[in-house]
């Protein structure tokens, strides 16, 4: 890492995918942000927002259409080799491991690609596999690994050369809750060691727990950025009223009653109503009570509520 440079510095980055039936697409449409050294920034946003595109530009897999991107002080275009030596990348759902090779062989192969000598490569491979709880599985071919285990092998590969900057694109996708919890602990250890981390996730709790700052991306543009507490302060007057199993029609009754917050039903059937101020809170509780709701709980908003307040719900359509 060059002296005093931020871990990641993105200035007016545009990335256009050309061609295709839909014509050109501005996957990234002029974004600027930095990740300071040792900082973890959570990169959030809906499907298609441009997160993976950004991860690929940072790791030199894609070149910027315009703008400037520096990783560990190095320019991703002019100094791609130095960037590759400074960055570890985990792409969610990524293939790119050799199925017939063991975890140990896969990671050692990558260590060699990163320029580590034979002995150092072997030693570092053993270390990272142990840290990731894969020591016992080191000599098994990875084609027999579960998805969560594969994800850990990817992470081992990203960490073997001890990169200054780590880009994690949905690293816990497909992990069971225990594995995801273990992963959060692991990221904390990396944070303590001073690794700069850009973490993409759809798990708002994970983002809130791990990020010093978050950047919210939508349709290739940054719509909000700041410390989780800063973003939440915009919702300081808000409370979230939840009903685990709401009776039919409760959402409609709230809407018809007026003076309540806006309610939504999530996929599990939980009703969540965001209210602003005590008047709305009292009115919402009264209407829910009349509607026969039991098991009502009140909580302060989280990052998921910030997300919902900023990102419009675009219905999926199949063409
Ligand atoms: N190789 C490609 N060619 C053309 N368009 C692409 C290509 N890769 C991505 N896109 C488009 O660029 C936009 C951003 O995609 P990207 O994969 O970066 O989104 P994302 O934020 O990672 O989404 P998700 O949360 O689903 O992973 C989308 O509209 C996508 O369709
Ligand atoms: Mg993606």
At 61, the pLDDT band (50, 70, 90 cuts) reads very high
Ion ligand 2 residue ranges (Cβ < 5 Å): 51-52
- Residue of minimum CA distance from atom 4 in ligand 1: 17
Domain with CATH 3.40.50.300 in the chain: 8-232
Ligand 1 environment, Cβ below 6 A: 17, 20, 25, 27, 45, 47-53
Q: Which residues contact 118 (CB under 8 A, 6 or more apart)?
A: 112
Using the mean position of ligand 2's atoms as its centre, give its distance from the Cα of residue 62 in Å.
Answer: 14
Averaged pLDDT, 9-25: 90
Domain with CATH 3.30.70.980 in the chain: 236-300
At 182, the pLDDT band (50, 70, 90 cuts) reads confident
pLDDT in tens, 218-276: 999 999 999 999 999 888 889 999 999 888 889 999 999 989 988 888 877 899 998 99
Using the mean position of ligand 2's atoms as its centre, give its distance from the Cα of residue 256 in Å.
Answer: 39
pLDDT in tens, 101-137: 999 999 999 999 888 999 999 999 999 999 888 999 9
Measure the CA–CA gap between 232 and 302, rounded to whole angstroms. Answer: 7
Averaged pLDDT, 174-188: 84
User: Average pLDDT of the chain?
Assistant: 91
Measure the CA–CA gap between 192 and 210, rounded to whole angstroms. Answer: 12
pLDDT in tens, 64-104: 999 999 999 999 999 999 999 999 999 876 677 899 999 99
- Residue of minimum CA distance from atom 6 in ligand 1: 17
Nearest ligand atom owner, CA of 29: 1
Q: Tell me if residue 197 falls in helix, strand or coil.
A: strand
pLDDT in tens, 152-168: 899 999 999 999 999 99
CB atoms within 10 A of CB 175: 19
Averaged pLDDT, 291-318: 83
Using the atom order of ligand 1, give the atom closest to the CA of residue 217. Answer: 21
Tokens of 127: 């270390």
More confident residue, 185 or 54: 54
Measure the CA–CA gap between 294 and 305, rounded to whole angstroms. Answer: 23
CATH class of 236-300: alpha beta
Is the predicted pLDDT of residue 317 greater than 70, yes or no?
no
Quick one: pLDDT at residue 198?
98
- CATH hierarchy code of domain 8-232: 3.40.50.300
Strand pairing category for 165-169 and 87-91: parallel
- Residue of minimum CA distance from atom 19 in ligand 1: 48
Using the atom order of ligand 1, give the atom closest to the CA of residue 20. Answer: 4
Strand pairing category for 40-44 and 213-218: parallel
Is the predicted pLDDT of residue 319 greater than 90, yes or no?
no
Using the atom order of ligand 1, give the atom closest to the CA of residue 202. Answer: 25
Quick one: pLDDT at residue 308?
85
- Gap between the terminal Cα atoms of the chain: 47
Is the predicted pLDDT of residue 2 greater than 70, yes or no?
no
- Residue of minimum CA distance from atom 5 in ligand 1: 17
- The CA-based diameter of the chain, rounded to the nearest angstrom, is 71
DSSP string, 81-139: HHHHHHEEEEETT---S-TTSBHHHHHHHHHHHTT--HHHHHHHHHHHHHHTT-GGGTT
Instruction: Report the percentage of the chain scoring pLDDT > 90.
Output: 67
């Amino acid at each position: 890492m060059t002296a005093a440079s931020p871990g990641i510095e993105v200035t007016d980055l545009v990335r256009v995918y050309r061609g295709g039936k839909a014509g050109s697409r501005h996957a990234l449409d002029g974004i600027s942000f930095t990740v300071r050294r040792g900082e973890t920034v959570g990169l959030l946003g809906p499907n298609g927002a441009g997160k993976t595109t950004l991860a690929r530009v940072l790791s030199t897999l894609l070149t910027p259409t315009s703008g400037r991107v520096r990783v560990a002080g190095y320019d991703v275009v002019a100094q791609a080799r130095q960037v590759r030596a400074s960055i570890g990348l985990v792409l969610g759902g990524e293939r790119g491991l050799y199925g017939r090779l063991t975890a140990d062989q896969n990671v050692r192969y990558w260590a060699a690609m990163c320029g580590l000598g034979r002995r150092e490569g072997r030693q570092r491979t053993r270390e990272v596999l142990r840290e990731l709880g894969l020591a016992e599985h080191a000599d098994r071919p990875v084609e027999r690994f579960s998805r969560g285990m594969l994800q850990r092998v990817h992470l081992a590969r990203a960490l073997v050369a001890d990169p200054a900057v780590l880009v994690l694109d949905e690293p816990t996708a497909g992990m069971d809750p225990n594995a995801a919890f273990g992963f959060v602990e692991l990221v904390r250890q990396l944070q303590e060691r001073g690794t700069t981390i850009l973490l993409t996730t759809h798990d708002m709790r994970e983002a809130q727990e791990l990020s010093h700052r978050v950047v919210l991306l939508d349709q290739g543009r940054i719509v909000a950025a700041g410390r989780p507490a800063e973003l939440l302060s915009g919702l300081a007057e808000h409370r979230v009223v939840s009903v685990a199993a709401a009776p039919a029609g409760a959402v409609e009754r709230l809407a018809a009653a007026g003076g309540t917050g806006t309610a939504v039903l999530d996929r599990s059937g939980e009703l969540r109503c965001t209210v602003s101020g005590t008047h709305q809170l009292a009115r919402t509780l009264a209407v829910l009570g009349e509607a026969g709701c039991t098991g009502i709980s009140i909580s302060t908003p989280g990052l998921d509520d910030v997300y919902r307040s900023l990102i419009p719900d675009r219905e999926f359509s199949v063409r």
